[in-house]
Structure 1
Amino acid sequence: MGGIKKKDVKKYSKSIYKKGTEVGKKAVKTKLTIVAVILLIVTIGIISFVGIVSFSLFFPIDPVLVQPASPDYDGNIELHWNKVQTGGGIDADVYLIHREYNDEYGGILYYYKTVSTNMYIDTNLPTGTFRYNIIAKISTDWGGSFLSDRSNTITVVVSTAVPPPVKPDKPILGDISPLISYTGIIDLSWNTISTATYYRVYRIKDGGYNQHIATVSTGTTYRETLTLNGIYEYSISAWNFVGGSKSSDRKSVEVLVEFINTPILESIIPNPSTDGYITLKWSYVEGATNYLIYADIDGAGYNKVKIGAISPWATYRTQDGVHSFYIEAEGLSYIAESNVQSVIVAIPVPEPPDETTLSTISPTIDTDGTVELSWTSVLDAISYKLYRNRDSGNYVVVDSTITTTSYTDYDLS
């Protein structure tokens, strides 16, 4: 590790001071003038001052290692220390990590690692005792370098024993968004703690007492809907069979809910509906800016079928079954749901018309390519469909919109 060290500069400064003092004593003994003695003392002071200034401007401060947890059970030791600078604000270029290792046989291994950041993870370590200290290094423009003194020494024992169970770490609760809730819906989320089996949710309203409001055993989210306006603060703690962690930092949200009355949906008449036409009527809600209609058939689930509805609202349903409806009245910041009303839709299936009878075609042998057809009338028939085949082939539709009981087929050849 080449470079100028602090202790060398200190030693050199002491040497100058000692020699200067000896010279001063000799000067007095040889009866030098008082002026010469004073000049000598001033010179020594200047040299010492320059040394001190140089020491603070160019030499890095001493690094301080943070003690990791010991014993370590995974063979990975994470080292952290302060970011080192000189008194002049120059950052250290690199850090020299010194490691001593006592193995099971009592031997000591030395190891140096050079890193450019103020952290390092020593991985895949065997069992034994490890000691670490570091030196900060600052390079100069002329190719030299300045070195700090060694940091404090920390000791970590790496063990293969099963680590004892511990309480979970403190979770981190995310910011609540939006900071002002006009709906009263509050969504919380936090980071996963690997050793936690469940989480507890706490809430404070308007500076009151801290209340445990929920236990979450699946996932790391929680939602609740509040109906009282105020300032709410939330925190989370992680738990396992050993105990609970410290509570997370609190996050706050303001609830400003505008309340509106609940709409009342009237009974649906007629019930059952035999034509599929359904009319919904509901009460007017003061402050409502919009009405939404939700519909369900035979319990399959509600779907939004209309936005911006106005009472009364009519719909046509072709599917038989139990049709259920409810209304949502929307305010600027609040939604109120109506009661549910149901109606049975049962549209009768019309009976098929009676058969018609086609009159005998005459003459049976046609010579002009025109055939006159007629048939009997059928009660309630709307139209008739005429089919024709040729030489015992397949029947094809000649006309499907005949509204009379006769038809002339032309150009047959």
Structure 2
Amino acid sequence: MAPVSVVMVGIGGYGAEYVAALDRLPLEKIRLTGAVEPFPTRSCAEPGLSERQIPVFPSLEALFQAGCEADLVVIASPIHHHISQSMLALNHGCDVLCDKPLGASIQEASALIRAREASGHSVRIGYQWSYSEGIRSLKRDIQAGRFGGPIRMKSVCLWPRTLAYYRRNDWAGRLRDVTTGRWILDSPLNNALAHFLHNLFFLLGPAVGLSARPLEVTAEVCRVNSIESFDTVACRARASGDVEVLFYGSHATQDSYGPRFELEFEEAIVAYKTPVGDVKDEISIEADGRRVGIYPSPNAGDHFAKLTEAVRAVTGNEPVECGPEAAAAQTLCMNGVHESISEIPTVSSTLRRRSVQPDRYWIDGLDGDLRRCYERGVLPSEAGVSWAIKGQTIDLVNYDHFPTSENHA
């Protein structure tokens, strides 16, 4: 059998890690036929590609125009290119693995699903926890009713980011692309921490390949960095069955914390805590106050299982467990968060703190505030946090266009 021909879109940043992962696959399995990168000399992967005479093109359009072959297109480009490049790849008869998040708007997500259906090819979204055995086994048991009905799902992740993080490109922290006006909606919720919001809806999904759809969301956000978007967010969503879904995330804390999640069911509590000290790297099940079982850590195994699955699927009948339908729940909730807030407040200078090594800002007291809110299952405004302004509750039942005002204009 001929090796699967692969094109890599985006070889800088995380894309370079995809290139390294492709290089670890057996030569008889895959053949990297080309790459796309508008600034190839900035990538640590470029010298290796040049040495192997793998062509690098400035755009996916240019690659296809040059006649480059591809069974599978792997996309690790900026957020606002994910869906348009995925659709272009489908139109050229390719399967797609697109890294997280799915995109910036729910209408784009719907367009991708339609394009996939018309093409007859597959699309996978690279939320790596959704490819782990621990998460997939847990989801199967939730579907089977092992723990009774779900009541509340919550997750927290506090990952500080430096000023260099927001200066690394021309779209970090932006709401729109400065050139095209296309939505980006970059934020913790739609980039680095998108995994953990997605995971809550994914685990609630009623079937393989589906996530639970958020029915409404209320949000509170703020920022300390000089960006358009927010660097701190807390939100409460509702899913079918009146399940409460809570998420807390920030790039503006003093210290790292998480990711953690806690899933409350009628008959058990399932929880994951990032291993620190004596905490084991595993998902635990507790019932009646005692531990009754575990699942493997969502970080166990190969973080690029998503890639090997996508390669296998080109020549085999591999079910898509994390496609655009599953990933769209995060997009929908994220769009609702932006609709919920009338403006993004910048915290008072009295709360702003700065370090030099590393060079970054943080919000004084935010670490404890968000951790306490997570433990109590409340929004910051409900806990009396000074910067918190409660947003509107946004009905997402028939929501199909971001922003709503643009759709009705």
Query: Considering the TM-score relative to the shorter chain, is it more than 0.5?
Result: no
Q: When the two structures are superposed, what TM-score results if normalisation uses the length of structure 1?
A: 0.18
Higher helix share: 2
Q: When the two structures are superposed, what TM-score results if normalisation uses the length of structure 2?
A: 0.18
More relative contact order, 1 or 2 (CA 8 Å, 6+ apart): 2
The structure with more radius of gyration: 1
